[in-house]
Chains A and B, each alone.
Chain A
Amino acid sequence: MSYKYRLFIFTFLISFIPLLIISLYSYNSLRVELVKNNISRLEVVADTAKERINIALDQYLDQAELVTHRLQLGSYINNFLESENEESFEGIEDILSKLSINELNFNSAEIYNLDGKHITSTGQGENQFNINADKIQAGGDKFQLNNIFTDKNGQLQVSIWGPLFFENKKVGYIEYTANSHLFTNITDDYFLLGDTGEITLLKNTQAGDAIFLTPLRFDKNAALTRTVPKDTENATSLATIKKLEETLIEEDLVDYRGKPVFAVTRYIEPLDWSLVAKIDQEEVFSSGTTLLLAFAAVFLTTLIILMTGVLVFTRLMTKPINELTKIAQRLRQRDFSARASEIVSGELGILSKTFNEMAHELQEIYSNLDQKVKERTRKIESIEAEKEAMLSNIGEGVLATDNKGRLLFINRAAKKILGLTEGKFTGKPLTRIVKMLSGEEKPISEHNRPMNKVLQTGKPYSVTSINNNYYYLNSKGEKIPIAFVVTPINLDNRIIGSIEVFRDIMKEKEVDKAKTEFVSLASHQLRTPLTMISWYTEMLLTGDAGKISKEQKNYLREIYNGNKRMTDLVNALLNVSRLDLGTIAINPEPTDILKLMTEVLAELKPTIEKNKLSIKEKHEKIPAIHLDPRLMRIIYQNLISNAVKYTGKEGKIEINHTIMKKGEMADKNHRINTESVLITVSDNGWGIPKKQQEKIFTKLFRADNAKLKDSSGTGLGLYIVKSVIEQFNGSVWFESEENKGTKFFVIIPASGIKKKKGSKNLN
């Protein structure tokens, strides 16, 4: 919840609750006070009223005494009683008619004798009460109030009776009636009694109920008519019945109207009357209520003012905070131009100022940073552009994939070769983008794709020879022969992808094919005529065309030999050309090389025997080696026939086969680096002149002494031997001294050779 509202609610509660509590308390106190005040007043009024009633009573009584005395009614009565004549009686009436002293009007008088018998009266003589004996007994020596009553006109009167004396002797009684106004003046006086208060006078009826003696404020006809039954609960007039003087502050106290009142009761003993001073509770509290309302109004107003004040205050407080918040948000969004309006004073002022300083600094830093970033980006972009240019201009196809085989990058050359010029390919699996075929014309399965193999094993996979038939299927469905190298991309010892470089080798294959076909053609074209010459010469020599002379035979032999040399040369040249063109087919199989050597020796047996050469052999047991026997045979043929050819009669030839382990020395200059077979062919023949030894392995080279001794060598044999041995990953060298002999060393690794797909076999 926002600060503003929190503060508001907080202040509200802080001010409202105490105020409320205080109000309620005050109100309560007020009520109590009011009640107290009113009750006090009521008591005063009641006491005063009681006093006044007594005074009024006394006034009536005094007046009666006075009048009686003045009128000397006693003497008249006496006269009457003695004489009983009318005259004296008329005189009484006469006197009585002059009654009206002070404000007290005695309206009439009744006279009674000692026995209480009515003698005469003024007026109409209505009230002919006989004063009964009880009364005489009770208090016949003084004047007293007899009764209060309503006359035949409805007027409220009092009757006062007392004794008549003559010469200190009671001679009779007199009863006056007078207006009750002395009393009613009191009860009609509402001074200090507000609008609802009054004084009521009550006495008990014979039935025990209470009867009102005077007119009531709210019922003018109540006098001597209205009663409050004795079993009425909570009635003010109960006091009468109990003759108590009490202060009644009870909530449920009600008056004759049924309205809740407070009352003070007094007892007027002389009259046996009760006096009740009462006032409506409502009236007592009304001032309180008014006050409360006023108070509430004040309270609310105060509250409203206070709240408004709080609102304004919090507004005042939160406005700068909000502003700062907005500034902060702008700063967060990199708008460093944002500045707070600086409130001059106080904590917020300092905050704003600091904010602005901070924003300023940030602005500077960022613009600096921005600058630097822009520069760097420019640099990077230019480098990127260069790289991009480099990459896209690489002449060979480049494909990069992620570790799941999805294409990350394809360069322009690759797109061109594969015909993928339209569309986006990055993100798609490479195996879906382009199909690869191997020589068998079947598409390579996803699992066997070189890329996947590389991703799995982390080892590079390359097919670079033009003789391996790998193709990509381009967008037109054409088979594009390719040579490729796929390598894994390593980062922190994890394979994160692969990268392939490939090229279209169609041209190379075509060139290769052209070379192959040329050699084949040359081979065929050269050999056919040689065959013809050979066979026909042979047939002539064997006499198939008839007998020939010795001379003819000799000539024919020369032709035949010449042809043979030519054939040999052609064969050798063809082999050399194949070796040069790199198109030899190597078909390795487990080969018993000793057996090959033995066969070659057997072929050369005629010449060996003719020259009486001795062959010494020393061989360890050589296991089968995985190599091409035809090529191996050529090595033996060349080395052994050389030894035979270039050794004099009765010469010695030695052939050895030894197994050599890694690290051993074949001779002082040659260390074996893998388990191999060492073959040595040595003779004690003509040797190779030192000056010409370095050229021995070159094409068509024949040492001078060899040329002299035997004109029939091609000069190609050792070149072929060296080439083939290199194919076998072996090595060949020799030691030779002219006229002493030659020793050839050949190392063939025991691991043999891999199958190489070439187009040609050597003859």
Chain B
Amino acid sequence: MTKTNGKKILIVEDELPLLKALSIKLTNEGFTVLQAQNGQIGLDLALKEHPDLILLDIVMPVMDGNTMNDKLRADDWGRTANVIFLTNVTDENKWANFLGGRHYLVKSSWTIEDIVTEVKKQLGME
């Protein structure tokens, strides 16, 4: 059994295979992983569980990542929440303005290993 390192990560991603891959990888690294497949579930979980980091996809049904982020920031805890956006769209005009200045990764350009590294870096580990 993998040992946990005490950090909680919330992954909000609507593509199930991608969600699963990230979960497995991060769990193997010792993180506690929470999963959400749309922004609404993600928001509820975030507010309930207060994860140390949120990996947030943008294009999702029910509630997209942008909206969830806005709602999250309205919350006292949410305002300080650690969020990395994961996306495959950098080119829609609404996202272009949105992403500029935010921490985001283009999924298709990042290996899953690098994502894990980035997560650790973000949490001040290693």
Q: B88 to A523, Cβ gap below 8 A?
A: yes
Q: With A524-B59, A544-B24 in contact, do A759 and B113 touch (Cβ < 8 Å)? A: no
A519 neighbours in B (Cβ, 8 Å): 91
A535 neighbours in B (Cβ, 8 Å): 18, 21-22, 111-112
What 0/1 readout, one digit per residue, does chain A (534-549) give for beta carbons within 8 Å of chain B? 1110110010100000
How far, in whole Å, are A517 and B28 apart by their CA atoms in the complex?
37
How far, in whole Å, are A560 and B77 apart by their CA atoms in the complex?
41
Q: B15 to A760, Cβ gap below 8 A?
A: no
Provide a sorted-by-A list of 5 A–B residue pairs whose CB atoms are within 8 angstroms: A527-B107, A527-B108, A538-B113, A587-B100, A761-B91
Q: With A567-B109, A760-B96 in contact, do A520 and B21 touch (Cβ < 8 Å)? A: no
**What's the nearest-Cβ distance from chain B to residue A686, in Å?**
28
How far, in whole Å, are A532 and B111 apart by their CA atoms in the complex?
10
CB-nearest residue of chain A relative to B58? A524
Q: A520 to B108, Cβ gap below 8 A?
A: no
A2 on the B face (CB < 8 A): no
Main DSSP-derived SS at the A contact region: helix
Q: B28 to A544, Cβ gap below 8 A?
A: yes
CB-nearest residue of chain B relative to A545? B24
**Contact check: which of B89, B91, B112 meets A539 at CB < 8 Å?**
B112
B90 on the A face (CB < 8 A): yes
What 0/1 readout, one digit per residue, does chain B (10-52) give for beta carbons within 8 Å of chain A? 0000010110011011001000000000000000000000000
**What's the nearest-Cβ distance from chain A to residue B29, in Å?**
10
CB-nearest residue of chain B relative to A567? B108
Q: B18 to A528, Cβ gap below 8 A?
A: yes
Interface residues of B in 54-81 (CB under 8 A from A): 59
How far, in whole Å, are A402 and B87 apart by their CA atoms in the complex?
53
What 0/1 readout, one digit per residue, does chain B (104-118) give for beta carbons within 8 Å of chain A? 001111011100000
Q: A517 to B92, Cβ gap below 8 A?
A: yes
How far, in whole Å, are A585 and B98 apart by their CA atoms in the complex?
13
**What's the nearest-Cβ distance from chain B to residue A761, in Å?**
5
Q: B108 to A760, Cβ gap below 8 A?
A: no
CB-nearest residue of chain B relative to A536? B21
How far, in whole Å, are A517 and B92 apart by their CA atoms in the complex?
7
CB-nearest residue of chain A relative to B28? A544
Q: B112 to A759, Cβ gap below 8 A?
A: no
**Contact check: which of B18, B59, B90, B106 meets A532 at CB < 8 Å?**
B18
A530 on the B face (CB < 8 A): yes
A585 neighbours in B (Cβ, 8 Å): 93, 96
A574 on the B face (CB < 8 A): yes
A88 neighbours in B (Cβ, 8 Å): none
Q: A539 to B24, Cβ gap below 8 A?
A: yes
A435 on the B face (CB < 8 A): no
Q: B92 to A520, Cβ gap below 8 A?
A: yes
Q: A761 to B90, Cβ gap below 8 A?
A: yes
B22 neighbours in A (Cβ, 8 Å): 535
Q: A534 to B111, Cβ gap below 8 A?
A: yes
Given contact pairs A535-B18, A535-B22, a sample of 5 additional A-B residue pairs in the complex whose CB atoms are under 8 Å apart: A527-B108, A532-B15, A538-B111, A574-B91, A759-B91
A531 on the B face (CB < 8 A): yes
Q: A760 to B93, Cβ gap below 8 A?
A: yes
Q: A763 to B91, Cβ gap below 8 A?
A: yes
B21 neighbours in A (Cβ, 8 Å): 532, 535-536, 539
What 0/1 readout, one digit per residue, does chain A (499-543) give for beta carbons within 8 Å of chain B? 000000000000000001101100110011011101110110010
Q: With A531-B107, A535-B112, A538-B111 in contact, do A523 and B91 touch (Cβ < 8 Å)? A: yes
B113 neighbours in A (Cβ, 8 Å): 538, 542
**Contact check: which of A544, A567, A570, A578 meets B91 at CB < 8 Å?**
A578
What 0/1 readout, one digit per residue, does chain A (301-329) give for beta carbons within 8 Å of chain B? 00000000000000000000000000000
A528 neighbours in B (Cβ, 8 Å): 15, 18, 88, 107-108
B88 neighbours in A (Cβ, 8 Å): 523-524, 527-528, 531
B25 neighbours in A (Cβ, 8 Å): 539, 544
**What's the nearest-Cβ distance from chain A to residue B59, in Å?**
6
How far, in whole Å, are A587 and B91 apart by their CA atoms in the complex?
13
CB-nearest residue of chain A relative to B108? A527
Q: A763 to B90, Cβ gap below 8 A?
A: yes
How far, in whole Å, are A542 and B89 apart by their CA atoms in the complex?
27
A538 neighbours in B (Cβ, 8 Å): 111-113
How far, in whole Å, are A530 and B15 apart by their CA atoms in the complex?
12
Q: With A531-B18, A536-B21 in contact, do A759 and B89 touch (Cβ < 8 Å)? A: no
Q: A532 to B24, Cβ gap below 8 A?
A: no
Interface residues of A in 734-752 (CB under 8 A from B): none
Q: With A535-B111, A539-B24, A567-B109 in contact, do A759 and B96 touch (Cβ < 8 Å)? A: yes
How far, in whole Å, are A646 and B36 apart by their CA atoms in the complex?
46
B112 neighbours in A (Cβ, 8 Å): 534-535, 538-539
How far, in whole Å, are A761 and B94 apart by their CA atoms in the complex?
11
Q: With A524-B59, A539-B24, A544-B28 in contact, do A530 and B108 touch (Cβ < 8 Å)? A: yes
Q: A516 to B17, Cβ gap below 8 A?
A: no
B17 neighbours in A (Cβ, 8 Å): 532, 536
Q: A516 to B18, Cβ gap below 8 A?
A: no
How far, in whole Å, are A546 and B15 apart by their CA atoms in the complex?
24
How far, in whole Å, are A760 and B94 apart by their CA atoms in the complex?
9
Among all A-B residue pairs, the 6 with the closest Cβ atoms: A759-B93, A527-B88, A527-B108, A760-B91, A520-B92, A535-B112
How far, in whole Å, are A758 and B91 apart by their CA atoms in the complex?
10
A539 neighbours in B (Cβ, 8 Å): 21, 24-25, 112
How far, in whole Å, are A532 and B16 apart by their CA atoms in the complex?
10
How far, in whole Å, are A120 and B22 apart by their CA atoms in the complex?
211
How far, in whole Å, are A758 and B90 apart by their CA atoms in the complex?
13
How far, in whole Å, are A539 and B107 apart by their CA atoms in the complex?
15
How far, in whole Å, are A760 and B100 apart by their CA atoms in the complex?
11
How far, in whole Å, are A760 and B25 apart by their CA atoms in the complex?
32
Q: B24 to A516, Cβ gap below 8 A?
A: no
A761 neighbours in B (Cβ, 8 Å): 90-91, 96, 100
**Contact check: which of B15, B89, B100, B109 meets A523 at CB < 8 Å?**
B89
Q: B111 to A763, Cβ gap below 8 A?
A: no
How far, in whole Å, are A495 and B17 apart by their CA atoms in the complex?
67
Q: With A536-B17, A587-B100 in contact, do A520 and B109 touch (Cβ < 8 Å)? A: no
CB-nearest residue of chain B relative to A560? B111
How far, in whole Å, are A524 and B58 apart by their CA atoms in the complex?
11
B18 neighbours in A (Cβ, 8 Å): 528, 531-532, 535
Which of B28, B93, B107, B112 is packed against the most chain A CB atoms within 10 Å?
Answer: B93
A578 neighbours in B (Cβ, 8 Å): 91
Q: A534 to B91, Cβ gap below 8 A?
A: no
Q: B89 to A520, Cβ gap below 8 A?
A: yes
How far, in whole Å, are A535 and B22 apart by their CA atoms in the complex?
9
A520 neighbours in B (Cβ, 8 Å): 89, 91-92
A530 neighbours in B (Cβ, 8 Å): 108
How far, in whole Å, are A526 and B48 apart by their CA atoms in the complex?
34
A532 neighbours in B (Cβ, 8 Å): 15, 17-18, 21
B90 neighbours in A (Cβ, 8 Å): 523, 761, 763
**What's the nearest-Cβ distance from chain A to residue B113, in Å?**
7
Which of A534, A535, A570, A585 is packed against the most chain B CB atoms within 10 Å?
Answer: A535
**What's the nearest-Cβ distance from chain A to residue B35, in Å?**
16
**Contact check: which of B28, B93, B111 meets A516 at CB < 8 Å?**
B93
**What's the nearest-Cβ distance from chain A to residue B87, in Å?**
9
Q: A531 to B91, Cβ gap below 8 A?
A: no
CB-nearest residue of chain A relative to B87? A524
A763 neighbours in B (Cβ, 8 Å): 90-91, 106, 109
How far, in whole Å, are A535 and B21 apart by their CA atoms in the complex?
7
**What's the nearest-Cβ distance from chain A to residue B83, in Å?**
19
B92 neighbours in A (Cβ, 8 Å): 516-517, 520, 759-760
How far, in whole Å, are A124 and B96 apart by their CA atoms in the complex?
182
How far, in whole Å, are A536 and B113 apart by their CA atoms in the complex?
11
B59 neighbours in A (Cβ, 8 Å): 524
**What's the nearest-Cβ distance from chain A to residue B36, in Å?**
18
CB-nearest residue of chain B relative to A519? B91
How far, in whole Å, are A531 and B96 apart by their CA atoms in the complex?
20
**What's the nearest-Cβ distance from chain A to residue B108, in Å?**
4
